[in-house]
């Protein structure tokens, strides 16, 4: 090994950058996603990584060991299926990283655990920054194996800073959700000590980990999509931009779904506190309908709204929005392709009424009296909280949520809200 030219820190290698703090779970998710991008694309690539503990990455590294990727690591794992390199003298013990170099895709994930149990981290898809990191390693190792493997790649050296910016925003979104989960779990564990609530809290804890996987899976999937798009940079800029825009919009919706579920889990046993605003209900309904545009296109379902611009009521906008989201989502899940969902808004005396109707197969007669009970669900992955919590929200507004009708031609729910404030 050559004599070290001088140990450099991350700022010296990549310029004056700002590291962000992330949980270990966020870093593990991104580590897996970046490697899956290369493995699934069956790409010619060189991967260099330094990790202290291989256990959290065991599954993805096993897949990597059977791929065509040329791999180099400091960690003697998997019976020497990876090429060993000694980079311990080039970095501090706590510093860990993953470098990926492919023909049209370069990535660097760097992290270092800090004193509060989080990790200072940066992820970049900028080939120039990745090259600076690799050059530092090669200047000191002078490893002919790495040099030969790298020389066979036709590296794309364009900046692609916009992809790094997008990726970092998505990492922040995942991190925020991870911390919310930690806080939610802590609060649930504290509530578990109350004897009169212990049964309900145990059910909440058991559903939390199970139900949270779906929105988080969407987030990771669309991160992978964005990473893969970097392989196609060229004359397809417009197409790539549209794909990125669509992916980020879906990520936002997935994050909203995650936050909505967390709010249900945390607030279900709390007294609901309302922040009332006098507002046109038509606007609230339209905003909610617009969130389902993509899924309706996918299932070829139409949503018709019988508008009424004259109906105003004092409501907690966020909570009524949550109720509408739940009811429309249920209607979509109950609907077949090429069917229709209808919403009607009217004023009836001192109440505003919103009706949501679908053309599904209806609710079984034996279940009609149970649907508003906490934890009752007929869905394989349902929590049984949505309708009961929605009813609780509406009743806190001095209104009502009822099943109007159900049968083989569909189901209709009715929301009634008082039009004027009580004095």
The CATH class, in words, for 10-158 is alpha beta
**DSSP β-bridge partners for residue 416:** 353, 400
Residue 406 has what DSSP assignment?
E
**pLDDT surpasses 50 at 204:** yes
Residue 90 CA: distances (Å) to CA of 3, 75, 139, 416: 11, 15, 11, 67
Q: Which two tokens stand for residue 342?
A: 């209808």
**pLDDT surpasses 60 at 293:** yes
Helix (H) or strand (E) run with residue 185 in it: helix 161-191
Q: What is the pTM of this model?
A: 0.45
Domain ranges of the chain: 10-158, 165-267, 277-418
303-351: per-residue pLDDT in tens?
A: 999 888 888 999 999 899 989 998 999 999 888 888 999 999 998 888 9
Residue 167 CA: distances (Å) to CA of 33, 120, 217, 225, 228: 12, 16, 16, 11, 12
Residue 265 has what DSSP assignment?
H
pLDDT of residue 1: 43
Which range of 16-20, 114-118, 371-375, 400-404 scores highest in mean pLDDT? It is 400-404
Residue 202 pLDDT class (50, 70, 90 cuts)? very low
Q: Which residues contact 44 (CB under 8 A, 6 or more apart)?
A: 68, 69, 102, 103, 152, 153
CATH topology of domain 277-418: Heat Shock Protein 90 (3.30.565)
pLDDT of residue 341: 93
Euclidean distance between CA atoms 343 and 325, whole angstroms: 12
Euclidean distance between CA atoms 280 and 282, whole angstroms: 5
Q: Provide the percentage of residues in the chain whose pLDDT is more than 70.
A: 66
Q: Which two tokens stand for residue 423?
A: 């004095």
Euclidean distance between CA atoms 2 and 361, whole angstroms: 73
10-158 and 277-418 in the same fold: no
Q: What is the mean pLDDT of the chain?
A: 78
38-63: per-residue pLDDT in tens?
A: 888 887 899 999 998 888 898 899 99
């Amino acid at each position: 090994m050559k004599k070290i030219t001088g140990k450099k820190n991350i700022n010296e290698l990549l310029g004056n950058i700002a590291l962000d703090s992330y949980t270990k779970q966020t870093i593990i998710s991104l580590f897996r996603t970046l490697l899956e991008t290369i493995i699934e694309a069956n790409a010619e690539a060189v991967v260099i990584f330094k990790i202290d503990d291989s256990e959290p990455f065991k599954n993805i590294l096993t897949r990597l060991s059977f791929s065509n990727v040329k791999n180099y690591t400091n960690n003697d794992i998997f019976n020497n299926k990876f090429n060993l390199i000694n980079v311990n003298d080039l970095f501090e013990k706590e510093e860990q990283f993953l470098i990926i170099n492919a023909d049209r895709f370069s990535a660097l994930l760097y992290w270092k655990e800090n004193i509060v149990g989080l990790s200072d981290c940066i992820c970049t898809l900028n080939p120039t920054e990745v090259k600076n990191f690799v050059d530092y390693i090669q200047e000191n190792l002078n490893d002919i194996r790495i040099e030969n493997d790298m020389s066979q790649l036709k590296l794309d050296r364009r900046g692609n800073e916009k992809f790094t910016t997008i990726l970092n925003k998505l990492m922040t979104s995942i991190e925020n959700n991870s911390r919310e989960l930690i806080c939610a779990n802590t609060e649930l564990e504290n509530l578990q000590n109350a004897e009169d609530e212990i049964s309900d809290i145990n059910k909440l804890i058991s559903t939390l980990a199970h139900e949270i996987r779906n929105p988080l899976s969407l987030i990771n999937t669309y991160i992978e999509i964005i990473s893969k798009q970097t392989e196609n940079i060229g004359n397809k800029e417009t197409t790539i931009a549209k794909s990125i825009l669509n992916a980020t919009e879906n990520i936002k919706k997935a994050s909203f779904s995650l936050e909505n579920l967390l709010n249900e889990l945390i607030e279900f046993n709390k007294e609901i506190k309302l922040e009332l605003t006098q507002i046109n209900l038509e606007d609230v309904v339209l905003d909610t309908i617009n969130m389902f545009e993509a899924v309706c296109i996918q299932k070829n379902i139409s949503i018709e709204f019988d508008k009424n611009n004259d109906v105003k009521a004092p409501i907690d906008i966020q909570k009524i929005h949550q109720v509408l989201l739940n009811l429309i989502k249920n209607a979509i899940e109950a609907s077949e392709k090429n069917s229709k969902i209808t919403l009607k808004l009217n004023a009836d005396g001192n109440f505003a009424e919103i009706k949501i109707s679908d053309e599904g197969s209806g609710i079984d007669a034996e279940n009609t009296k149970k649907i508003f009970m906490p934890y009752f669900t007929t869905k394989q992955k349902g929590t049984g909280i949505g309708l009961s919590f929605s009813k609780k929200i509406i009743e806190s507004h001095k209104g009502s949520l009822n099943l109007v009708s159900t049968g083989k031609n569909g189901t209709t729910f009715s929301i009634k809200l008082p039009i004027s404030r009580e004095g």
